[in-house]
Structure 1
Amino acid sequence: MTEIIELSNETITLQRNEFLKVKGSIDTNIYFIESGSLKIFVLDDFEEQIIRFGYKDDLIVALDSFLTGRPSDFYIQAIKKITLKIIPKNLFVDFINKSDENKSLWINILEDLVLQQIEREKDILTTSPKERFNRVLKRSPKLFQEIPNKHIANYLRMSPETLSRLKKS
């Protein structure tokens, strides 16, 4: 992972609520979060549907735009002031193509992402709010220190009141 981060030659800082990208924009960069937190979401009838969070030491990307070079449906917005290292796609692709080991690293990153997404979809479609809460708590305990409850509730597809009750029990 360190090799990927070293590809960055630029750092940016976003203030709370500032957007890194909005729907309809093309963004083929990968970002490494040095500090702060953000959310990735889509808008559904003007309501946010959070699909992922990022915080310190995470790599994040608008994967649809990164892979296709076309506009993305995703918004990426700072939750807290955030500092990001920018890794341009061309440097990343050069890095991947340098060795089989680098290609394997990229494949592992993509496989992990796909598995996380499948697990999340199963959670939302088939489990109760309590089960979703417990699974996320087990999988990502750091989430509850980094992200405000209202965003976690949205991500878990429950009301903030339900999340609050589950946290107390």
Structure 2
Amino acid sequence: MNPITNFIEKIDQQNLWDNKLELSRKEHLKVKGSIDTNLYFVVSGSLRIYVLDEFEENIIRFGYKNNFIASLDSFMTEKPSDLYIQAIKKTELKVIKKTTFMNLIESSVENTKIWHIMLGDLIFQQMERERDILTSSPIERYKRVLARSPKLFQEIPNKYIASYLRMTPETLSRIKKS
């Protein structure tokens, strides 16, 4: 069994979820300037994490069924973040507070190892994404993301995937057809 799946089962068995949330389509879980030290587990639905600059929204991450999602910078530093987290469609989440989560992490060597695996995976994914955006053509970005996360294309509308891949929806459509 996957260590992260094991970890989720531990949280369930110990009844550590602090809350459950339901978000409507387009409802924000977090907005720029707020502090959010919760970690969320997506039960159903999908979300996007994005930053807003002067001209456009730039999507940096997605969360969908069986994924953890957080405003990681705010989670780690306990300071305000420029990130927005918004439901793409109706979404159900389980919530665990940072203090509850960190107590679980620190309760055993095994849990600490799983946390390090989770963080390592996240860092690796972000590095791959940055490399793709900086050095790959739109077609290469599409192919690499498709290979890494085929479920993304089943869960997330094309207009958001295009933003994530730093291309127009029309370009993504042309690439998918070819």
Same fold (TM over 0.5): yes
- How far off its partner does 1:7 sit? 2.0
Q: Is residue 45 from structure 1 mapped to residue 54 from structure 2 by the alignment? A: yes
- What residue number does 1:87 align with? 96
- Separation in structure 2 between the aligned mates of residue 7 and residue 35 of structure 1, nearest angstrom: 19
Q: Could you tell me the TM-score, scaled by structure 2's length?
A: 0.93
Equivalent residue runs for 1:20-31 within 5 Å: 20-31=29-40
- How far off its partner does 1:26 sit? 0.4
- How far off its partner does 1:4 sit? 3.7
Q: What amino acid is aligned across from residue 86 of structure 1 in structure 2?
A: V
Give CA deviations for 1:104-129 in whole Å, capped at 9, x if unaligned.
Answer: 11111100000000000000000000
Q: Which shows bigger deviation, 77-86 or 37-46?
A: 37-46
- Unaligned 5+ segments in structure 2 are 1-6
Give CA deviations for 1:43-95 in whole Å, capped at 9, x if unaligned.
Answer: 11141000000000000111100111100110000000000000011110110
Q: Could you tell me the TM-score, scaled by structure 1's length?
A: 0.97
- What residue number does 1:160 align with? 169
How many residues are matched?
A: 169
For 2:106, what is the secondary structure of its paired residue? helix
Q: Is residue 138 from structure 1 mapped to residue 147 from structure 2 by the alignment? A: yes
Q: Is residue 97 from structure 1 mapped to residue 115 from structure 2 by the alignment? A: no
Equivalent residue runs for 1:1-150 within 5 Å: 1-2=7-8, 3-4=10-11, 6-150=15-159
Q: CA RMSD in A?
A: 0.9
Q: What amino acid is aligned across from residue 41 of structure 1 in structure 2?
A: Y
- Separation in structure 1 between the aligned mates of residue 18 and residue 80 of structure 2, nearest angstrom: 24
Give CA deviations for 1:127-157 in whole Å, capped at 9, x if unaligned.
Answer: 0000000001111111111100000000000
Query: Percent same amino acid at aligned positions?
Result: 63
